[in-house]
Structure 1
Amino acid sequence: MATEYGQGYGNGFGFPEGAGRRRERVPAGLRAPFSARSWREFGYVLLSLPISIVLFTYAVTMVSLGAGLLVTFLGIPVLAAALAGCRGFGALERTRARGLLGLDVAEPEPLRMRKQGVMGWMGAVLKSGASWRALLYAVLQFPWAVFSFVVAVNVWAFGWALLTYPLWFWVFPAYLGQDGISLVSDETHQIYLNNPFEITVTALVGLLFTLATPWIVRALTMVDRLLVHGLLGPTRLATRVVELESDRGVVVDTAAADLRRIERDLHDGAQARLVALAMDLGLAKEKLAEDPEAAARMVDEAHGEVKTALQELRDLARGIHPAVLTDRGLDAALSAVASRCAVPVEVQVDLAERPVAAIEGIAYFTVSELLQNISKHSRATWAAVDVWRVENRLMLQVADNGVGGAGVSGGSGLAGLTERLDAVDGILVVDSPVGGPTRVTAELPWRG
């Protein structure tokens, strides 16, 4: 696998290389009341009240009915229908959160039906933790939706009303028979906001409330994010199971690819040379009696082929698992790899003990492939390999002063390397701006 260092251009933020971010002239605090995000979040809060009323009413009614009918068989299908409806509302809420809050929550674990038919479906719904979490969401979201709706609407209305007070204060003397907004009005005192100073102060107070409203609404929606993510998404255990299933597939695919590579190398390399060697020795045997000199030349050529075949077998064995890695560890093995690199490589390994063989092998082949990329594509004149341990993690870093531009785009060697490390809970981070330098950092579990 090899990544071409001329590809993967870009600065990693979705902007073309060389294009700077547009400098905002208005501070974020002043832009917030008019930003699309603030209005989407406010719309989410407004929609939460009617949706939560419908959801709460449905959930409480159906669950109460199902619980009351449990003395008969009808209670079970009613409860199953209640939970299924809550799951359907949960899908709607995930979609709403994705569209208005930008919160992308994966679907919870699917129903696991052990039996086919209606009975199997009801049993799966009732046994599913995701169904009960959706019911809990229906119960908890209603009081929170009422609270957030009241707070958001009142703060929003109060702020804009005070901010625009200079535009409509004339309504009070014209239609209500008073001078302005009444602060105090009793038998002895009457204080109205009606002079220019008081009107200006009122508008400034409204401005403060208006500027604070988006952040208050955002704080309210943080609770909604927690509810949606915690109750309507997959559990950590389910997410971990999915990750392990995916990692297992990567491991199986990687092992199959390695076996195909070994078979191809044997077939095209050592096996082909050994077949040719057997034919040459057969011809030499036939010529031994009639032309000893020609037979001797053929045997000498066959001897050279044997050396070449042995070297190819050694290289193949080294590619499977080098003996120096087993015998002497990462320091000696990486030094041997570095000596075969096309550019000078400085190797520094700071390990007091060795990790388990599997992690050690992955670390070796990770560095080996990165150095191979440097030899083929980087046009570097210098490279460095650093290996050290941080608590229970094995850290690898390979750097060079080449042309840069490396990336983990789909189909590249670094993408495949990322998948391999991810299969063992490892991480690969690539920092390779166009023009260089390139720095690739890998993190693996220690498992010593």
Structure 2
Amino acid sequence: MVSNGSLDGLGPHSPATLPCGRTLNNRMVKAAMYEHLADLGGGPPNPLHLSLYRKWGMGGWGMVITGNVQISKQHLTLGRDLCLHPLERTNQEHFGRLADAIHASSSDNRPLAIMQLSHSGRQSPRFIGGRSLLSKPVAPSSQRVGLNSKEGLLARTIYGFMFQKPHGLFPEEISCIIEDFVHAAKTAYDCGFDGIQLHASHGYLLSQFLSRKVNDREDEYRDGIRIVSKIVSGIRASLPASFAVGVKINAGDYILGGLGEKEANAHIETLAADGVDFIEVSGGDYENPEFMASTSARQVFFSAFSKIAMRAVASLPDKRPLIMLTGGIRTPEQMNRALNDADADLLGLGRPSVLCPDLPIRLRDGDRAPVILEPQLKSPSWFPKLIGAGVGTAWYTVQMKRIATGENIDLTLSGLEAVWSMWIPFSGLYQCISLLLVLSLAIAYLSL
């Protein structure tokens, strides 16, 4: 059940102003969600994206963040990623339409449109990652995903099948990636977006630099915040001060990954000095996907780290970045508590935005309908964690496609049905052929 009741102090519908001067009409943010709607092999937004984001644009959100837009078409995640090539004019036209879709609401209620920029690094898989079979993904160091997994033989086999040993980046290659991020931000600005968010969480490339378990470099990039700082500085030097810049960081890299609270404070202070407007606290990666699941434990974990971030920015002398907490927030009571207990300034809502695209409007109008009815998706105990977490991802991508095509979400959809629909969107004979192809590839690999 939901209500729009607020505790004393800040409420979800109170406005918030970023250091760049942009104002959110409320503190509820549609967090980034992978859509799986682009063409196979990655590409620009299509009519499905426009329809989906128009729903969110009309939903009363203070800010809408796109799913991760890859700056490298050779480093896709699940094969149907949004990709941005700054030099392709047709790409700019498509992304301009996406910004317009997010801005579809009236000027009084329209959300800020934020493009999330990402590079998947070593988490770009074989076969569907956008590369030839012999081409390796890149990473700060040459450590394959799952190499140190403590799961059983099945999990280690799946990791070995899906992911290659990456190529450790040379300094000049890192400089090129920094330039690619800055160019992508310029393109987002030219397309009409109000800002960008750098994806430095969920184990993707920027998060890999921040992780001690992945980054064993001995140069200046041993301090992983360096690459993020250089990207932010490049964007700030190239675009108007009113253009919003956010960074999504991984709580696990600090609390579980060996960095600690001291480094967290230092990194947050660095980002603030560079001119970041908001910092989103999230977590999880392909080796710890349980932190991307919907659990109360995850919400407590992220809240604890967001408190650290809030304390770090509280003492800053100038305009401070706003802290956005994402993960596990499901009820108005949790929203109010997060704001009034100083856990966060902004509330990131990903999966709830799929279950109820107009959630902020419903809460504002006092709708007491049970609008958040999450599915209970359970995987067998012997399932590798990565596969188990992927069931939830599949379920929500299928629901996003239903929303985009004008259908109601299907709460009766099982996890197995969702995985089948996500990966094999054909019928009859084509599904059988696709399944046989996948099995053949797996058997061929395991026979090597």
TM-score for both structures, normalised by structure 1: 0.17
Q: Which has the higher helix share?
A: 1
